[in-house]
Amino acid sequence: MAPISVPVPENPAAVLIGQMEVEFAKCECCGLTEECTAAYIEGIRRRFDGKWICGLCSEAVQDEILKSDELITTEEAIAKHMSFCKKFASAVGPPPDPTPHLITAMRQILRRSLDSPRALRSRLTTPTTAAADQIRRRALA
């Protein structure tokens, strides 16, 4: 009996399946890595000027746009948020893992803006930012 040889899949269908596989994307703001599908990574890159940023940072970037007195572009909001991340990192120094601290700091900023009267009312009905993030992720997937 001849052994059944399994050919290496090199067809368009296999490529398509490959795009459904998860890979690690690194946030260009805070350096957090997230496991995402290639399609999701692509969606974020398109939205944020070719940069991949994590869910929390994208939330913070939206926030920069909302709280800005002038109309700013997504690119400018990313730049603002990136400088915030860098300032935070240099203020705290190089701890073994700065990410949890940065996330806490960002959550505080977001919470503060949610409490402010300028925040959109619809955002107040969202129970948690994590839930909102999940909804958005599902919408983008």
Token digits for 91? Answer: 């203020």
Q: Kindly state whether residue 54 participates in binding Zn ion, applying the rule CB under 5 A.
A: yes
Exposed/middle/buried for residue 120 (C-beta within 10 Å: 0-12, 13-18, 19+): exposed
CB of 132 to Zn ion, least distance (A): 16
Give CA–CA dist 24/46, Å, rounded: 17
Contact stretch for Zn ion (CB under 5 A) within 16-24, 51-59, 110-118, 130-138: 51-59
d(CA 133, CA 71): 24
List the x/- string, 56-75, binding to Zn ion by CB under 5 A: -x------------------
- Of the pair 25, 54, the CB lying nearest Zn ion is at 54
Give the number of residues in contact with Zn ion, rule: CB under 5 A.
6
Q: How far apart, in Å, are the Cα atoms of 27 and each of 10, 68, 84, 111, 115?
A: 31, 23, 14, 21, 27
Residue 18 CB, nearest approach to Zn ion (Å):
26
Q: Which residues in 10-39 contact Zn ion (CB under 5 A)?
A: 27, 29-30, 32
Closer to Zn ion at the Cβ: 32 or 72? Answer: 32
* Crossing angle of helices 55-67 and 129-140, rounded to 10°: 100
41 binds Zn ion (CB under 5 A): no
Question: Smallest distance from the beta carbon of 58 to Zn ion, in angstroms?
Answer: 8
Q: How far apart are the first and last CA of the chain?
A: 45
Contact positions toward Zn ion, by CB under 5 A? 27, 29-30, 32, 54, 57
